[in-house]
Every structure is written in C-alpha cells, then in structure tokens.
Amino acid sequence: MKRILVSGGAGFLGSHLCDQLVAEGNQVTCLDNFFSGSKQNISHLQSHLNFELLVHDVCNPLSLEVDEIYNLACPASPQLYQRFPIETFKTSILGSLNLLELAKSTGAKIFQASTSEVYGDPQLHPQPETYFGNVNPIGPRACYDEGKRGAETLFFDYHRQHRVEIKVMRIFNTYGPRMSATDGRVVSNLILQALQGQNLTVFGDGTQTRSFCYVDDTIQAIRLLMDSSKEITGPLNVGNPSECTILELASLILELTGSKSKISFLPAATDDPHKRQPNISLALRGLHWSPQVPLQGGLIKTIAFFDSYLSQNS
C-alpha cells in the first residue's frame, strides 16, 4: 500500500484521481483549501478507511510521510484565475516549491499537472513538447500560463540539482462529470446553456479549435506516467489529437441535448488561443497511451451529469 498525497484532490481532475488511487488500495491524503475544489466531489470517499482529507493551502509548507505526490492544485478556470491572478500564480510557484521540498525530504516521486496553456497562442500546429510556445507574459491569462511554465522550471531544476524523481504532464482540454458549473469553461458553459434553453455563447467567430479529452482517458494517462520508468520525466502531452472547432462543439451539444437554443456570438477573449491540438507521439511511444472515449460518448456522460446537477439544484 502506497501513501499518496493528492494536492488539489477535491477538484475536477483531482477527485477522479483520488477515486482511482483509493480503488487501487492506496492510502490517499487529499489536500485542498477549497478555493476552486468542492467538498461534494469527494463526499463519497470520506467514509473510506483509505482516504483522508487535509484542509490546507499548498502555498504553506507541510510535513508528512508520503511515497508519491500528485500536484493538481491550481485554479484552471479562466474566469476564476483572471479574477484572482496573484493567488493563482502563488499556487503554481509556492505550491510547487513546497511539494518539491516535501518530495526531496521524503524521497517521494512527484507528478506535476501542467497544461497546454504553456504553449500560449501557438504558432506551431499541432504542438509537440519541443515547442517553446507563444505566451504573452503580461496578459490577463499570464498568471496561469506563466505560473505553470515556472512550475515546470522548478520541477526540472529539482530533478537536476536534487535528483527528485519527477513526472510532468501537459494536459489539454479535459472534460467530464464533476466539472464546476460556474467555472466558465466552454464544455460546461455550452451544456448548461443548452439544457436551460439559453443561447449558446461563442466567443469570436467560433472557428478557434480545441482538442477535448474525456476525464477517464486523462486519469489513465496520469497513472501510466506515474508508473513509468525513471527515465520518462516528461514533459508529456496528453490530450485528444482530434481537433474540433467551438462551433462544431456547440452544434454537437445542441444535437445531443435536443435543445432548441440558438448560438450567439460575443467578442473574442484576450489572448485566447486560436488553435490547440496536441502531438501525442511521445505518450504513444512511452506510455502506449491514446484516448479511447470519442467526443460524442464523453459528452453524453457529461450532459447526464449536468442534467442531474440542474435537477438537484432547481
């Protein structure tokens, strides 16, 4: 039985990861301060003997005995991190420093949930891990983009200087049940608008692309990377290489919900990437991983989750 710390464990991705780790028989400590996470996401785990909740801000140092650390602590919603940019940046940098120090002192292996946002508005398409990106360092999204870039720097410096065993993953747009209804991300926004008969809001002309990966596929990749050989440190792209425009996504959601809503257009968001598609050749070779859940199948499950959410909160 491994002693595993999941920082940000009450968030969307973190709670699914906690589910998987507990199911595997590990002793899991979920660390969260509920800045963006939700107690509801982990309520089903709190009676489990192998699960404990530690309410703590990762920006503050901590000490406990662990074998593995997963760092998923950081607001990922553009709406939230642009509202709290300093807190977001501190979470990425100070949080990484504190967890890396914990890994260094305990000899634990440590995982960093990085992001496709490190590529900014990419000028190379699709994006391989060797691409350095095109990020505006002083724009409204920089707190998240540059925070994650800085966290990657810290991880590799601790690996080189202190021989900490690291695993760094650049996660592309993940969606699924337990996404927050208020986080402003495109999949949750469009589904909720369709289910409530509201206009589906698309920023810009809708031709910007994203590559949507269902949460189960992302969690599988995280576990495969963590269990891979020491030589595989990352950074490793994980996402769905099937590109989709926002207009195509909106049309598919209208079809799957049976909604009569219309699509309305709003001004484009500042520094919003025009294209986003991962090159996953490293994940294919190193982890033998590729996403298995098609967009339509994943959306059906996500729509069912939000339909239930609206019924419970009506």
The pLDDT tens digits of the residues spanning 141-194 come to: 999 999 999 999 999 999 999 999 999 999 999 999 999 998 888 999 999 999
Instruction: Give the mean pLDDT of the chain.
Output: 95
∠ CA(117), CA(148), CA(202), 5° rounding? 30
The most confident of 79-83, 154-158, 269-273, by mean pLDDT: 154-158
If one counts the domains in the chain, the total is 1
pTM of the model: 0.95
Judge residue 163's burial from the number of C-beta atoms within 10 Å of its C-beta, 0-12 exposed, 13-18 middle, 19 or more buried: exposed
Catalytic residue among 70, 81, 119, 144: 144
Residue 164 sits in a domain whose CATH number is 3.40.50.720
Backbone angles phi, psi at 164, to 5 degrees: -70, 135
- Judged against a pLDDT cut of 80, whether residue 60 lies above it is answered with yes
Look up tokens 């589906």; give the residue: 200
Whether 131 is a known active-site residue: answer no
Instruction: Give the chain's end-to-end CA distance (angstroms, integer).
Output: 42
Domain that holds residue 100: 3-312
Look up tokens 């939230």; give the residue: 80
Give me 107's structure tokens. Answer: 């000899």
